[in-house]
Chains A and B, each alone.
Chain A
Amino acid sequence: MTDFITPSTQLKSRKSAEQRFRWYGRGAIFVSLAFLVVMVGSILYKGSGAFTTTDVAIVVDLGPDAVDPANPQDARFEKIVKDALKARFPEATKRADRRKLYGLVSNDAGFELERFVLANPDAIGTQARVWFRASDDFDILLKGTVDRDVDESERRLSDQEIGWIDRLVADGDVKRGFNWSFFTNGDSREPELAGILSALVGSALTLLVCFCFSFPVGILAAIYLEEFAPKNRFSDIIEVNINNLAAVPSIVFGLLGLSMLLNTFGMPRSSPLVGGLVLSLMTLPTIIIAARASLRAVPPSIREAALGMGASPVQATFHHVAPLALPGILTGTIVGMAQALGETAPLLMIGMVAFIVDVPQSILEPATALPVQIFLWADAPERAFLEKTSAAIIVLLLSLITMNLLAIVLRRRFEKRF
């Protein structure tokens, strides 16, 4: 007879198996968390520098010889800056030394001074102390990214140049501030001026096009397939194809965009319109699959009750089933859009991997996107672009987190449990 009171050895081993499994699970989560922390940590560490800038103050002579009070915009601002630098460090007399000296400030300094003078007409005719953006080499030196103890021949900056910046620091003529221009400038070849705005706007426009196309098409396809389509061989083939489409490498969609949208239809190259359409090909299957799954999750009793009350099938679907499925559909859409946001490969083929300074004003103007900007900066030779690359990754990650949070909030808000 079996003894039900004293625990058997089998039970003991079952219990320990369960315990073991729990530890395996914790281990797995720990490992993935560790990877995440290392990855995000290194990006944050490398990218944090990009959010601060270095500015140096130089006293410039805006006297009547330099700036004509009647038309200040005609002054030779670049020369004024160079003269001011020469006055600040008179020991640089040789041509080569002067060139180094001019490199202390960003080569945008002339334009900076022009903006300053036009914004402060009172300064004309005086000796004004103006802040200029320091060039990237000095910026990363002060941030400690480059080692100043290595031999002079191996550094980008000579002892003399380091001496200049140290003197400016000692005199209180150097300040560090938050890098607002990173968010208000477009791309630039000068790391100290490069900003993310044009890529951010480009990404937003591309996603807008992608959403406007793939959301209605995806939902209509899903509703028809789930609620109305007859179940036969033909609809099976369509279903298999949609699932396959979700697994097609994205570069293929880029090639399709190149041959169809650009070459056949003659749409403008590098534009968010083409980018958005190509990406929507990629997100469509994701949206359709998610939408069908959430339509299927609506209990049949709802549908039947509506039909029983005399609603037509279209009314039953649009008045009762679709609203209940909406949170799931929205989540699927946002996840699909987030995927599209991080995609570079198809954009390569349609010319969005480009140097674009001007912020795009419409979906027909050339634009670039966030992941493309990361790709381009990672390829740039200047050392200071390293931190810009990481900073752009941070911006991309933040956008992704925002979108995913939005998906969670929408689901929480509208979800109904049965």
Chain B
Amino acid sequence: MFTKTLCVSAIALASAAAAPAFARDQIKIVGSSTVFPFSTTVAERFGKSTEFKTPVVESTGSGGGLKLFCAGVGDETPDITNASRRIKESEVQMCADNGVTDIVEAKIGYDGIVLANSKESAQMSISLGDLFMALAKDVPGAAGETTPNPYTMWNEINPDLPAVKIEVLGPPPTSGTRDAFVELAMEGGCKTVDWVKDLKKSDKNAYKSLCHTIREDGAYVEAGENDNLIVQKLQANPNAFGIFGYSFLEQNADAVQGSMIDGIAPEFELIAEGDYPVSRSLYFYVKKAHVGEVAGIEQFLAEFTSEDAWGEEGYLADKGLIPMTEAEREQGAKAINGLMNLSM
């Protein structure tokens, strides 16, 4: 019977392909969805231009990727993980507990996080402090006091801001973009209040919960991980603002515009130079124990760190990655290709 042959041949195929441990000839990469577009671009190029197989790149989020990465050494664990933030001490410890002791850190460039609205409305210029006031759950008042966020209109915070309702579409808490936004924009704005700055020294937990908590009363809308969706919603609602990565702003420059933050517009050069305040570094981490065991890791690192890829005019810049300075790249390439161990 047809079904029988089909199933039998499937089993035969499976057993023919069964292989002993660590004979994997394909690099496995997991991690951040922000680094995913860059990692996949390099992977595809690498697969085309070398005799190695195209690496498999999974999009699991930064935290999820590091968890898989730190699960141990061996065929089943990934060789490389992407992260849109730096690895934490606790994660290095987790890795070490599972026998993953030697890790190579590779910083690949920068990504800006933008606050954008539809081109039908005017471009906004906002300070980090005002942005924090608009989005925090509790806002700091006089010394030591906090009140639940009373603002419903932008111009209640600062008369220079537009007289429209505060409505910001942004990523949910699982997203690395949200983590970075909270850390850079929210905390950056929070710190501008003097007594809060002092609070950091006296009561770190209170400081964190004040500065890192986004309001939940409907002014901040969790719009899901799909940045394209946020862009489409902004086009439909000219009064709303959205938070997403710079590459989406670049691709949709005809429909949405980035707001100036602290007087600086989210533009390629300004992010690259570090002037734009809400920008973060992107990384990937390599498991040293797998180099030499899984074919092609060294060549993959060489491809990633070539000027053709991560250089100022490399193909990753075309995909929206904001490159590091020449000195940083030179130093980075040396450290990565020399497989220097991570130092926290």
User: What's the least CB distance linking B180 to chain A, in Å?
Assistant: 17
User: What's the least CB distance linking B116 to chain A, in Å?
Assistant: 13
User: What's the least CB distance linking B290 to chain A, in Å?
Assistant: 15
**Complex Cα gap A364–B26 (Å):** 13
Given contacts A150-B254, A381-B247, are A212 and B6 in contact (CB under 8 A)?
yes
Point out the residues of chain B lying under 8 angstroms from A156, CB to CB: 251, 253-254
**Complex Cα gap A381–B252 (Å):** 9
Q: Which of A221-229, A280-288, A349-357 binds B?
A: A349-357
Point out the residues of chain B lying under 8 angstroms from A366, CB to CB: 26, 28, 56
Point out the residues of chain A lying under 8 angstroms from B13, CB to CB: 362-363
Q: Is residue A122 contacting chain B, with contact meaning CB distance below 8 A? A: no
Q: Which of A14-22, A265-273, A392-400 binds B?
A: A265-273
**Complex Cα gap A386–B28 (Å):** 27
Q: Is residue B37 contacting chain A, with contact meaning CB distance below 8 A? A: yes
**Complex Cα gap A208–B319 (Å):** 37
The answer on a CB contact under 8 Å between A376 and B254 is no
Q: Is residue B228 contacting chain A, with contact meaning CB distance below 8 A? A: yes
Q: Is residue A296 contacting chain B, with contact meaning CB distance below 8 A? A: no
Q: How many A-B residue pairs have CB under 8 A?
A: 114
**Complex Cα gap A266–B72 (Å):** 13
Point out the residues of chain A lying under 8 angstroms from B3, CB to CB: 211, 215
The answer on a CB contact under 8 Å between B252 and A378 is no
**Complex Cα gap A146–B26 (Å):** 38
B53-83 residues at the A interface, CB under 8 angstroms: 53-54, 56-60, 76
Q: Which of B38-46, B278-286, B298-306, B329-337 binds A?
A: B38-46
Given contacts A356-B56, A381-B228, A381-B247, are A188 and B10 in contact (CB under 8 A)?
no
Contact of B254 among A146, A362, A380 (CB under 8 A): A146
Point out the residues of chain A lying under 8 angstroms from B250, CB to CB: 381
User: What's the least CB distance linking B26 to chain A, in Å?
Assistant: 7
The answer on a CB contact under 8 Å between B57 and A354 is yes
Contact of B56 among A270, A361, A362 (CB under 8 A): A270
The answer on a CB contact under 8 Å between A355 and B36 is yes
A9-58 residues at the B interface, CB under 8 angstroms: none
Q: Is residue A278 contacting chain B, with contact meaning CB distance below 8 A? A: no
Chain B window 202-234, contacts with chain A (Cβ cutoff 8 Å), 1 for yes, 0 for no: 000000000000000000000001111000000
Point out the residues of chain A lying under 8 angstroms from B44, CB to CB: 188-190, 355, 357
**Complex Cα gap A370–B233 (Å):** 26
User: What's the least CB distance linking A118 to chain B, in Å?
Assistant: 15
Point out the residues of chain B lying under 8 angstroms from A381, CB to CB: 37, 227-228, 245, 247-248, 250-251, 319-320
Point out the residues of chain B lying under 8 angstroms from A215, CB to CB: 3
**Complex Cα gap A386–B228 (Å):** 9
**Complex Cα gap A153–B60 (Å):** 35
**Complex Cα gap A95–B313 (Å):** 10
A254-280 residues at the B interface, CB under 8 angstroms: 262, 266, 268-270, 273
A185-207 residues at the B interface, CB under 8 angstroms: 188-190, 205
Q: Is residue A155 contacting chain B, with contact meaning CB distance below 8 A? A: yes
**Complex Cα gap A379–B248 (Å):** 10
The answer on a CB contact under 8 Å between A379 and B228 is yes
**Complex Cα gap A108–B47 (Å):** 12
Q: Is residue B14 contacting chain A, with contact meaning CB distance below 8 A? A: yes
Chain B window 92-134, contacts with chain A (Cβ cutoff 8 Å), 1 for yes, 0 for no: 0000000000000000000000000001000000000000000
The answer on a CB contact under 8 Å between A363 and B14 is yes
Point out the residues of chain B lying under 8 angstroms from A173, CB to CB: none
The answer on a CB contact under 8 Å between B10 and A269 is no
Contact of A355 among B6, B11, B14, B40 (CB under 8 A): B40
Point out the residues of chain A lying under 8 angstroms from B16, CB to CB: 362
Point out the residues of chain B lying under 8 angstroms from A190, CB to CB: 44
Nearest A residue to B53 via CB reads A358
Q: Is residue B318 contacting chain A, with contact meaning CB distance below 8 A? A: yes
**Complex Cα gap A342–B10 (Å):** 22
Point out the residues of chain A lying under 8 angstroms from B6, CB to CB: 208, 212
The answer on a CB contact under 8 Å between B10 and A363 is yes
The answer on a CB contact under 8 Å between B226 and A364 is no
Report the contact-size class of chain B (Cβ under 8 Å from the partner). Answer: 35 or more
Q: Is residue B344 contacting chain A, with contact meaning CB distance below 8 A? A: no
The answer on a CB contact under 8 Å between B57 and A355 is yes
Q: Is residue B143 contacting chain A, with contact meaning CB distance below 8 A? A: no
**Complex Cα gap A189–B38 (Å):** 9
Q: Is residue B315 contacting chain A, with contact meaning CB distance below 8 A? A: yes
Point out the residues of chain A lying under 8 angstroms from B18, CB to CB: 364
The answer on a CB contact under 8 Å between B10 and A111 is no
Q: Is residue A181 contacting chain B, with contact meaning CB distance below 8 A? A: no
Contact of B47 among A212, A269, A357 (CB under 8 A): A357
User: What's the least CB distance linking B110 to chain A, in Å?
Assistant: 16
User: What's the least CB distance linking A345 to chain B, in Å?
Assistant: 14
**Complex Cα gap A26–B305 (Å):** 64
The answer on a CB contact under 8 Å between B26 and A379 is no
Nearest B residue to A351 via CB reads B58
Nearest A residue to B119 via CB reads A154
Q: Is residue A291 contacting chain B, with contact meaning CB distance below 8 A? A: no
Chain B CB within 10 Å, residue with most, of A189, A362, A363: A189
User: What's the least CB distance linking A181 to chain B, in Å?
Assistant: 14
Point out the residues of chain A lying under 8 angstroms from B236, CB to CB: none
**Complex Cα gap A381–B59 (Å):** 15
Contact of A383 among B17, B30, B56, B252 (CB under 8 A): B252
Q: Is residue B84 contacting chain A, with contact meaning CB distance below 8 A? A: no
A323-357 residues at the B interface, CB under 8 angstroms: 351, 353-357
User: What's the least CB distance linking B183 to chain A, in Å?
Assistant: 23
Chain A window 138-178, contacts with chain B (Cβ cutoff 8 Å), 1 for yes, 0 for no: 00000000110010011110000000000000000000000
The answer on a CB contact under 8 Å between A107 and B315 is yes
User: What's the least CB distance linking A141 to chain B, in Å?
Assistant: 12
Point out the residues of chain A lying under 8 angstroms from B225, CB to CB: 379
Chain B interface residues toward A at CB < 8 A? 3, 6-7, 10-11, 13-14, 16-18, 26, 28, 30, 33, 36-37, 39-41, 43-44, 47-48, 53-54, 56-60, 76, 119, 225-228, 245, 247-248, 250-254, 313, 315, 318-320
Known: A354-B56, A379-B225, A381-B250. 4 other contacts (CB 8 A): A211-B7, A353-B59, A355-B56, A365-B17
Query: Shortest 6 CB-CB distances between A and B: which pairs?
Result: A212-B7, A355-B57, A362-B17, A354-B58, A357-B54, A355-B40
Chain A interface residues toward B at CB < 8 A? 95, 99, 103, 107-108, 111, 146-147, 150, 153-156, 188-190, 205, 208-209, 211-212, 215, 262, 266, 268-270, 273, 351, 353-358, 361-366, 376, 378-383, 386
